[in-house]
């Protein structure tokens, strides 16, 4: 049985202020693995190792979940870290409003459980992962940069589709490809 490492996401086109944020992070000398600008996305549901034979069923679930949802606007605003500033693991950009995205994620989680996918244990927190912190090296400088972007509005954009994506892990980082795009 052939399988793929999958997730359901909203793609974000690369944009200049995000690239500036990432450049400022690089300048700190912190040990951070930045997400390539073309790979930035909002994960709605990570599904992990998935048999290819389930692609059609997954796409039917995505389609039924967003059938009544019209394209909507999202504002990317603010930066922060998970889990907290004492223990940095993920650098993120936030967004608002989150109700439509949160609803889509919750329904996908419920419906995909019927195909055997594990339900999320944590509450959904919509965000863009910008980088993963590998060590505490230059942590104070990194926190200063994140503080600088804490209240910044990065971009407003229209969400018009949801994608089923495949992730191939390589030594240089993941390679994402679109398996299916479902328009709103």
Check the CA dihedral 43-45-46-52 and report its sign. negative
Query: What is residue 152's three-state secondary structure?
Result: coil
Residue 14 appears among annotated catalytic residues: no
- Class of residue 130 by CB neighbours under 10 A (exposed 0-12, middle 13-18, buried 19+): buried
8-state DSSP, 78: E
Catalytic residue chosen out of the listed positions 41, 163, 165, 166 = 41
Which residues contact residue 24 at a Cβ distance below 8 angstroms, ignoring those fewer than 6 apart? 145, 148, 149
Catalytic residue chosen out of the listed positions 45, 111, 127, 166 = 127
Does the bond joining 56 to the residue before it have cis omega, within 30 degrees of 0? no
Cβ 73 vs Cβ 162: under 8 Å: no
Measured between alpha carbons, how far is 111 from 13 in angstroms, rounded to an integer? 28
Residue 41 appears among annotated catalytic residues: yes
**Structure tokens that stand for 128 in this block:** 């863009």
Q: Which residues are identified as catalytic? A: 41, 127
């Amino acid at each position: 049985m052939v399988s793929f490492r999958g997730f359901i996401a909203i793609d974000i086109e690369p944009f200049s202020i995000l690239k500036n944020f990432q450049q400022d992070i690089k300048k700190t000398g912190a040990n951070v693995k930045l997400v390539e600008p073309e790979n930035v996305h909002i994960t709605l549901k990570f599904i992990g190792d998935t048999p290819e034979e389930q692609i059609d069923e997954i796409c039917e679930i995505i389609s039924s979940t967003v059938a009544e949802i019209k394209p909507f606007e999202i504002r990317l605003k603010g930066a922060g870290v998970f889990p907290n500033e004492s223990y940095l693991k993920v650098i993120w950009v936030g967004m608002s409003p989150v109700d439509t995205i949160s609803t889509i994620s919750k329904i996908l989680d419920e419906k995909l459980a019927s195909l055997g996918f594990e339900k999320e244990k944590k509450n959904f927190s919509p965000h863009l992962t910008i980088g993963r912190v590998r060590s505490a090296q230059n942590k104070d400088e990194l926190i200063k940069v994140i503080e600088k972007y804490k209240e910044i509005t990065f971009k407003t954009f229209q969400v018009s589709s949801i994608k089923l994506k495949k992730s191939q892990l390589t030594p240089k980082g993941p390679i994402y490809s679109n398996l299916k795009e479902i328009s709103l």
